[in-house]
Structure 1
């Protein structure tokens, strides 16, 4: 393009598409087969929807797919898990009362006295339940958006969350020797 064009000289042939119409430019950018057709001197086929507008299975992105029974079951499990999680968090934040209620269920008359450890480990268990439910909900939603079966995610999320929170509760209970002695003494041989 070092040749200058002036009056009386022919305009140089475009090298980079600067004379292409906006439609031609879009067609070449979005669809490589259009570029090949234009280079061959053939008119391109009518423009198709952009690839991002339609997924490979024909569904629009962001729309839930998959079996209806799975969406209903997953939603029901998440709703039940939310109610259960909120109620458990409330109980764990008052850990001494929580521990004494558990002792009563086991038939022991025990008072939880390690208050500092109880409040710390109770709050940790409550945090585990909250984060566990949120993570489970996000993973379930993402799987539902992809049209995959997701009902098992809330079940697995509950199991993992309950195990981790159970460790926190156990550490709080074991930290109070008098309480544990009363519990062990209440268990029949």
Structure 2
């Protein structure tokens, strides 16, 4: 092994660096015949990748992700009144389904409606947080609002089904076959 070159972890002298880069030694003046065009350009240092957290994501990914989050925000705010008055919402649902009788599980609907709002707000907040983390890293994030919607709505559906399944008129309609 040659000892005239620096080994891994050793520093090269400025002369060795210039020689390796194809530049004339230090203190050597370029000859008059050397025009600036004949001197090889100095090597440029490679540009460093963007710092973590500042990476640029695909602009389409960013626009689609933000648009889906905006649609989700509209969904959250438009759904809150229906969940806070869940007994009326479930009563209308039973009427549309053709269920005989009225919804009467009011206390449970009030409690589970508030729980559904809390679950929906927490699910949306987690979705926004995850989406913006992925966008900041430059990773694909368009799917995060879609997955967040599916997971959040499954949990909200469980919250809504608890008072509905506890209502005597609704459970009776499930047990009674439709009249033919």
TM-score by length of 1: 0.64
The corresponding residue for 2:154 is 163
Name the counterpart of 2:76: 85
State the distance in 2 between where 1:96 and 1:127 align.
17
Q: Deviations over 1:37-57 (max 9, x none)?
A: 6xx998xx9xxxxxxxxxx96
Is this contact kept in 1: 2:57–2:138, CA < 8 A? yes
User: Does residue 136 of structure 1 match 2:143?
Assistant: no
> In the TM superposition, what are the counterparts of 1:149-188 in structure 2 within 5 Å?
149-182=140-173
Give the deviation of 1:95 after TM superposition: 0.8
* Cα deviation code 1:87-144 (max 9, x no counterpart): 1122101011110121233233542211111111111111111100000000000000
CA-CA distance at 1:182 after TM superposition:
4.5
Structure 1: 5+ residue stretches without partners: 1-32, 46-55
For 1:122, which of 90, 113, 116 is the aligned residue? 113
State the aligned residue count.
141
- SS, match of residue 89 in structure 1: helix
Tell which deviates more after alignment, 96-105 or 121-130: 96-105
2:56 to 48, 52, 65: 65
RMSD, aligned CA = 2.8
2:93 aligned to which of 73, 95, 102: 102
Partner of 1:30: none
1:119 to 1:154, Cα distance in 2 relative to 1, 3 A: same
Q: Distance between the aligned counterparts of 2:124 and 2:110, measured in 1?
A: 21
Which deviations, in whole Å up to 9, do the C-alpha atoms of 1:130-177 show, x marking residues without a partner? 100000000000000000000111111111111111111111101111
Specify every segment of 5 or more residues in structure 2 that has no aligned partner in the other structure, as ranges.
1-8, 18-46
Deviation at 1:86, TM superposition (A): 1.3
Q: Contact conserved, 1:89 with 1:130, CA < 8 A, in 2?
A: no
